[in-house]
Each structure stands twice: as C-alpha cells, then as structure tokens.
Amino acid sequence: MSMDVTFLGTGSAYPSPCRGASAVVFRTEGDCWLFDCGEGTQTQFMKSPLKAGRITKIFITHLHGDHMFGLPGFLCTVSLQCGSNPTKQCVDIYGPVGLRDFVQRSLDISHSQLVFQYRVHELLPSHDQCPEGEFKDFLSLRRENSVDPEDQGRTIYENLEEGSYELVADEQFTVKAFKLFHRVPSFGFVIEERGRPGKLNMEKIKELGIQPGPICGKLKLGATVILDNGQKVSPCDVLGDPIPGRKVCILGDCSGIVAVGGAKLCYDADILIHEATLDDSQMDKAIERGHSTPKMAAEFSNLCRAKKLILTHFSQRYKPQELVTDGDEDITVLKTQAQSCVLFGQDVTLAEDFMTINIPIKKNN
C-alpha cells in the first residue's frame, strides 16, 4: 500500500509567499489526513495535486495561529466544494482543549453551515508542557449545549503509564499523541501502521497436503488448525515473517519532549518530522522561544533511532541559496548542522512547500 507525506507549509510564525504556514498531509490509498492548518492551507491545497475534500481527519499540534488560523476557512471551502456530495463522511479533528470552541465560534460568527458533520476531540494538556505562568486553562470555554457530547467529540486524557494519548485505533492504523514542551502546550503525533502477517509459503502448504481454501485462511489469520490426518499445523509453520508496519512521527513546535515516553513512542520511526526554526548558532534564542535547532532535532532522532529526519517550520529568514539577500540566511546551513549530529546515518531532508516524501513498504525483517 502506498504511503506518503506532503508538505503544504514549512514556514514558522506566519505564511509567506515562499513558505506557507504549517500543514502536512499524510496519505495512503485509503486515508488522507491533515496535520496542522495554518492560514492559507486551503490555497496551498489548490496549488498542489492533493484534494482538500479527501481529508477525513485533522490533527492540530498546538493552538498557535500559524498552526490553526486556516482551519475555519478550510472547513468552509471543503463544504462549498462538496456541496453536491452531501455524503461526505464526518471529519474528526484532534487538538488541545480550546480548539473546539475556536472552530465552533468561528463558524458561528461567520454564519457558516457545513454540509458535513465534524467532531473536535480535545487533548487535555498539562502544566509541564510550557513555562510556568504561560498555561491557559481553556476548559471553562466548554459550552454546555444541548448537543450530545458524542456528536461534538470526546475529551482525550493522557495514559499516564505510557505517556500517550490514544486518538485513533482502526484496522490499519493507530495514532497516538505525546506531550511536547513549547511556549504553549504542544503535541507530537505518532501514526503507526499495524503489522501484517507474512505471506503463506505455498511450497510448505503443498508439502502438508493442504488445499487452497478455508484452512489457508485460518492459518493466515493466526489460528492453529488440525488437518484431517490429525496433524497439527501452527501459523508459524507456513507463514513467512510478518510484515512490520510503518511509523510516521509528526511533531509540533517544541524545544523538547516532556517525558521519555515520547521518545519510546517514536522509536524506530520511518519518518520523523521535527521543527528546526533557527540554526544552531541561535540555540539560546530558539530554546527561549520554545523552538528547536537542527542539532536538537538530530539528537531526538538519535534517541528514537528514526530512519529519516525531515526538518521543517523554518524561520522565514532562511532562504534557498539562490535567493539569499541582505538579512537572509542560507537554509542549507540547517541541513549541514543536522547532518553533523546524526549518529546512525539517518537521512536528513529539509522540507519545502509541495515536497512529497514516499514511505515504502517495509521488507519482512
């Protein structure tokens, strides 16, 4: 099954003509999910080959404007576009507490009525995710209205043991979130594809005298069977190695994780998308603002042994080499800095708007 991520916005703080505000699309044959939705994301969609109308889930890392001011307009435009297709499924939106109020009020004040349902599932953040005194409690914004709470979306609490929030668990994927440290509570998301059983070894099946049919099906599903001749066959006798699932980690703005659980969740990621707002020479300033540098991103990728590190969320002052003028910085310095810190030969890529990264199926171990 094909799987890729496309960057629609890779700039920090605000959208510019060179780099849109944060937005990443995760796509498989069946699913199309949006991670962050800065102002202008709907227009970036139009400039890309992707279809905004295919998005069924939206994940917002944190409540800074450059990650969510595009959300009300995105929903309105998708609604307009599928006006003739009122069968569009419910859109599930995930983000910190406060997001539901923002979406509902923005749609309300703008007299917008979507033709599809949406639910905003809110993650409950904690005080250790931002500097003391910066934490804002938006729980009081919850509107006690007549809508069934199930229809509005649920509240998602941290699983304290694992240090994770469980957002999605379907047949193909699980999506979990974990806490990041930033100027305001921020989250990282881990998409994990479920592993699949190995292929039937048809030679062995033949040797055992098994006919293609229900018995093969049972074995493939992991059940032990007893043949007519009384012989017991376990799945491991006839199945190749299981095909491991892929793992994609998309982190919000941060100067680090809050607890080691985050690194565990990201362990062995095929793709780690990490911010690098400023270069290493500005690390103090980056940390003060709750941001990372290439070195910090590389160190996290070392910790979780990610195979590929993609940097994004660049300060708008970093320009492609050929466009560098007075006051700008050459963006390639960020790549060099990250490369000099990776310990396991991780591939380092600088994200660009409209760049698509393919995530190939894994080979069995």
Binding status of residue 36 toward Zn ion by CB under 5 A: no
Positive or negative: CA dihedral 188, 177, 244, 354: negative
Question: What is the C-alpha to C-alpha distance for residues 228 and 125, in angstroms, rounded to an integer?
Answer: 57
Q: For a copy of itself, which residue of 26, 138, 187, 314 counts as binding (CB under 8 A)?
A: 138
Looking at the DSSP assignment, which residues form a beta bridge with residue 256?
Answer: 181
Scan residues 175-234 and list those touching a copy of itself (CB under 8 A).
Answer: 183-184
- Which DSSP letter does residue 18 get? S
Tokens 């409209």, located at residue = 354
Kindly indicate which of the ranges 107-115, 150-158, 214-222, 252-260 contains the residues binding a copy of itself, using the contact rule CB under 8 A: 107-115
Q: For a copy of itself, which residue of 3, 5, 8, 13 counts as binding (CB under 8 A)?
A: 13
8 Å CB contact between 21 and 42: no
Q: What is the DSSP string of 21-89?
A: SSEEEEEESS-EEEE---TTHHHHHHHSS--GGG--EEE--B--HHHHTTHHHHHHHHHHHTTT-TTPP
Q: Which does 284 bind (CB under 5 to 8 A by kind): a copy of itself, Zn ion, none?
A: none
C-beta atoms surrounding 316 within 10 Å? 15
Binding status of residue 318 toward a copy of itself by CB under 8 A: no
Binding status of residue 282 toward a copy of itself by CB under 8 A: no
Phi/psi for 267 (5° steps) reads: -55, 130
Q: Which does 102 bind (CB under 5 to 8 A by kind): a copy of itself, Zn ion, none?
A: a copy of itself
**Binding residues for a copy of itself, how many (CB under 8 A)?**
40
Nearer to a copy of itself, 3 or 99 (CB): 99
Q: Which does 15 bind (CB under 5 to 8 A by kind): a copy of itself, Zn ion, none?
A: a copy of itself
Query: In the bound complex, what is the minimum distance in angstroms from residue 293's beta carbon to Zn ion?
Result: 15
Query: In the bound complex, what is the minimum distance in angstroms from residue 105's beta carbon to a copy of itself?
Result: 6
| Known catalytic membership, residue 66 | yes
Q: Per the residue annotation, which of 36, 66, 92, 353 is the catalytic one? A: 66
Binding status of residue 179 toward Zn ion by CB under 5 A: no
Q: For Zn ion, which residue of 19, 27, 57, 64 counts as binding (CB under 5 A)?
A: 64
Kindly indicate which of the ranges 7-15, 70-78, 99-107, 193-201 contains the residues binding Zn ion, using the contact rule CB under 5 A: 7-15
Positive or negative: CA dihedral 157, 161, 164, 170: negative
**Closest C-alpha among 195, 158, 196 to residue 180:** 158
8 Å CB contact between 180 and 254: yes
Phi/psi for 284 (5° steps) reads: -60, -45
Q: Distance between terminal CA atoms of the chain?
A: 18
Query: In the bound complex, what is the minimum distance in angstroms from residue 326's beta carbon to a copy of itself?
Result: 17
Kindly indicate which of the ranges 34-42, 225-233, 248-256, 307-315 contains the residues binding a copy of itself, using the contact rule CB under 8 A: 34-42
Q: For a copy of itself, which residue of 1, 2, 65, 236 counts as binding (CB under 8 A)?
A: 65
Question: What is the C-alpha to C-alpha distance for residues 123 and 134, in angstroms, rounded to an integer?
Answer: 18
Length of the chain: 365
Q: What is the DSSP string of 346-359?
A: -EEEE--TT-EEE-
Nearer to Zn ion, 27 or 289 (CB): 289
Query: In the bound complex, what is the minimum distance in angstroms from residue 77's beta carbon to Zn ion?
Result: 12
C-beta atoms surrounding 49 within 10 Å? 8
Q: For Zn ion, which residue of 92, 193, 253, 280 counts as binding (CB under 5 A)?
A: 253
Contact set with Zn ion (CB under 5 A): 12, 64, 66, 253
Active site residues: 66
Binding footprint of a copy of itself on the chain (CB under 8 A)? 13-17, 39-40, 42-43, 46-47, 63-66, 68-70, 72-73, 76-77, 80, 98-99, 101-102, 105-106, 108-112, 134, 136, 138, 141, 183-184
